[in-house]
Amino acid sequence: MRWQKAVQDDLRSDIDVEELARRLDGRLTSLETLAELSDSTREIVRVRASEYGLLTESVRHAIATYPRRPAAWLVGEDSATSQSSVSFVAQALFETLKDGHREALIKCLPIWSEVQAGCFKSDQQMRDILKIYPNDDATRSVADTIIRASWGARRGASLATNPTQFDSATDWAKIFWGTNSMTSRCIRQRELDKDGEPAVDETSEDGSPASGGAQEGSAHLQQLMMDLMSSYCEALESAPSPLYCQERQEVHAGLVSRVSREVITALGDQDLWCMEHGAHITRILVEVRIYLQWMATQEPLIYREFQEYGAGKAKLYARSTREVAEVGASIGIDEAIQEFERLSHNEGHIDHRVVDTRDSFAGGKSVREMAKENGLLDLYRRAYSIASGISHSEWWSVETHCMERCYNILHRGHLIPSLSLNSGGNDELARSWVDSAYSIMRISLSILGTESAAVRSAFEWMGAPSQENVGE
Ligand SMILES: [Zn+2]
């Protein structure tokens, strides 16, 4: 404050007071423009700063760390970086960020400059509080709040009159943070925790320790899932089958087989037992359940349409693979085309296969719509959407699973790739997959109307009580 007043007194006769007040607002970029107004200003600013103890050795060195800094003449044109200067700036930033009073003191610099130039405007209440700031303990925190709150408003008002006013300050901020990224390295949480020792994430994502007999648990769950799948097949095969219109049972068996195979494979690798790496399992489980329940409410023709939609896609893929072959054949491409052609079931001389390019087999109806029509919207919202978000790399998922905050204060709190792997092993999640897959099997058998004696016999090994708990 005293430095501001002294500089203003020295220059008041040469420069308009409002201009002067604006150029002593605490920004280096403002000082730069002050130097442009008159030849004598650089010397006055420097001498007065030394006089009031603002240009200490540490401050000089800290400023000199930044090449292309505004008002470079303040400490001489040379640039040099030292570890102690970097730490000095880091400390200053840290203390300002964690201390609201310090932040307010810095944000009060433009106000003080205007007050001393006699051009500050505000209501009486703010003037009364600022008069005794920051020495009055009773009103200090109120004043801090008013100052911090008015910072953005004052900035907005300035920008309304002059939209480019802070351009050079913004450019300098880019230089400041850019330089920090060169002069100091990122710091990860685990370096703070273990004093430089790389840490191993020993807890699963829900914070529970990875289970001890995990290997056993994994083998047990996988075997259970395989047994369930065998029983599902057995029930279908031992009961009378409507082979005259076979599509419905084919689609059911196909989709149940699809989810079971995914779950069985995932159960074999505990690294996948977490939402980061196992979201696709949750997603497919919900999706298949919604498909099966929605199709059950449609005309029986829907099962054939489901198959034909897929056959059409196979034809499309055969075509696009052929385009690749025309550009330059690669190994196995002819076999790939043949396989897609076979799966498009378009044999013969007439090309009858329609390629439906809408988003789903149900005339483009979304999974969400299907869920809504069957009272499964909550399941969709609570499980499918979240799992989809992970599959589609929505930022929240990337942020929580793959990134961590850099603990170097000079780096502006940016996010950096996490080097800790998710250890998976979430037993509850793995069990929930088995439960969901089993539910789907029971729902499927119920929709198909598979003879109850066959179902009972196939799942007899599970015992009666557990059968009552499953299904929904
Ligand atoms: Zn960093």
Distance 415 CA to ligand 1 centre (A): 7
Distance 102 CA to ligand 1 centre (A): 24
Distance 404 CA to ligand 1 centre (A): 10
Distance 187 CA to ligand 1 centre (A): 6
Distance 212 CA to ligand 1 centre (A): 36
Cα–chain center distance at 362: 32
277 Cβ contact partners less than 8 Å away, ≥ 6 residues apart: 271, 422, 424
Judge whether residue 6 has pLDDT over 90: yes
268 Cβ contact partners less than 8 Å away, ≥ 6 residues apart: 218, 222
Residue pLDDT, tens place only, 326-385: 887 678 888 999 999 999 998 777 888 989 989 899 999 999 999 999 999 999 999 999
Distance 178 CA to ligand 1 centre (A): 11
CB-based contact 227:461 (threshold 8 Å):
yes
Instruction: For residue 49, give the nearest of 15, 10, 14 by alpha carbon.
Output: 10
Residue 214 pLDDT grade (very low, low, confident, very high; cuts 50, 70, 90): low
Distance 97 CA to ligand 1 centre (A): 17
pLDDT at 42: 92
pLDDT at 213: 55
Distance 286 CA to ligand 1 centre (A): 39
Mean pLDDT of 190-218: 54
Distance 180 CA to ligand 1 centre (A): 9
Distance 52 CA to ligand 1 centre (A): 35
Distance 412 CA to ligand 1 centre (A): 8
Distance 177 CA to ligand 1 centre (A): 10
CB-based contact 66:179 (threshold 8 Å):
yes
pLDDT at 330: 76
Strand pairing class (415-417; 403-405) = antiparallel
Residue type at 65 in one-letter notation: T
Give the percent of the chain with pLDDT over 70.
Answer: 93
Instruction: Sketch the domain layout of the chain as residue ranges.
Output: 2-184, 216-250+263-298+365-469, 307-361
CA-based angle 196:199:205, to the nearest 5?
A: 145
Residue 160 pLDDT grade (very low, low, confident, very high; cuts 50, 70, 90): very high
Residue 464 pLDDT grade (very low, low, confident, very high; cuts 50, 70, 90): low
CB-based contact 34:23 (threshold 8 Å):
yes
> Per mean pLDDT, which range of 147-156, 188-197, 419-428 is the poorest?
188-197
Distance 421 CA to ligand 1 centre (A): 19
> Per mean pLDDT, which range of 100-109, 171-180, 293-302 is the poorest?
171-180
Distance 399 CA to ligand 1 centre (A): 15
Mean pLDDT of 446-471: 79
Distance 83 CA to ligand 1 centre (A): 16
Does residue 472 or residue 231 have the better pLDDT? 231
Distance 233 CA to ligand 1 centre (A): 55
pLDDT at 219: 86
Residue 148 pLDDT grade (very low, low, confident, very high; cuts 50, 70, 90): very high
Distance 209 CA to ligand 1 centre (A): 29
Distance 99 CA to ligand 1 centre (A): 22
Distance 414 CA to ligand 1 centre (A): 6
Judge whether residue 199 has pLDDT over 60: no
Residue 145 pLDDT grade (very low, low, confident, very high; cuts 50, 70, 90): very high
Distance 391 CA to ligand 1 centre (A): 27
DSSP 12-77: TTTS-HHHHHHTTSS-HHHHHHHHHH-TTHHHHHHHHHHHTT-S-HHHHHHHHT-TT-TTGGGT-S
Distance 406 CA to ligand 1 centre (A): 5
Distance 185 CA to ligand 1 centre (A): 6
Judge whether residue 205 has pLDDT over 50: no
Distance 104 CA to ligand 1 centre (A): 26
Residue pLDDT, tens place only, 377-412: 999 999 999 999 999 999 999 999 999 999 999 998
Distance 409 CA to ligand 1 centre (A): 8
Of the CA atoms within 13 Å of residue 418, those in its CB half-sphere come to 17
Residue pLDDT, tens place only, 15-58: 899 999 999 999 999 999 998 888 889 999 999 999 999 999 99
Judge whether residue 255 has pLDDT over 70: yes
Distance 184 CA to ligand 1 centre (A): 8
Distance 186 CA to ligand 1 centre (A): 3
Distance 183 CA to ligand 1 centre (A): 11
Distance 155 CA to ligand 1 centre (A): 29
Share the mean pLDDT of the chain. 89
pLDDT at 7: 95
Give the percent of the chain with pLDDT over 90.
Answer: 71
Distance 65 CA to ligand 1 centre (A): 18
